[in-house]
Amino acid sequence: MRWEEVREQFPDEWVVCEALKSRSENGYWLIDEVALIDRFDDSTDAMKRYYELHREQPYREYGFFHTSREELKLREKWAGVRGLR
């Protein structure tokens, strides 16, 4: 599901999603398609659900977002891992 579709169907809500299609661009992680997992009125409940999912399956790309966001564009953090010299 595209983010625009999520925003239309669930206005002014917190949603927990899995990123299905994403890309890195200029230091940002852009999410193009998501699978909606759950929705909440409260950010605390959404965060709790996100942490539950992340603990169960840490290798999957979950996130929780408010549908007032126009796009899913997140600044990437440098993990501090260096390559071979």
Indicate if the pLDDT at residue 84 is higher than 90: no
- Per-residue pLDDT averaged across 75-81, rounded? 76
pLDDT band at residue 78, thresholds of 50, 70 and 90?
Answer: confident
Residue 80 CA to residue 85 CA, distance in Å, equals 15
Tens digit of each residue's pLDDT (9 = 90 or more) over 38-53: 999 999 999 999 999 9
Mention every residue, 6+ apart, whose C-beta is less than 8 A from residue 10.
36, 39, 67
Q: What pLDDT, on a 0 to 100 scale, did the predictor assign at position 77? A: 81
Q: What percent of the chain has pLDDT over 70?
A: 92
User: Can you list the pairs that 26-29 forms with residues at least 24 positions away whose Cβ atoms lie under 8 Å?
Assistant: 27/75, 27/76, 28/73, 28/74, 28/75, 28/76, 29/73, 29/74, 29/75, 29/76
* Interval 44-68 mean pLDDT: 97
Mean pLDDT of 70-75: 93
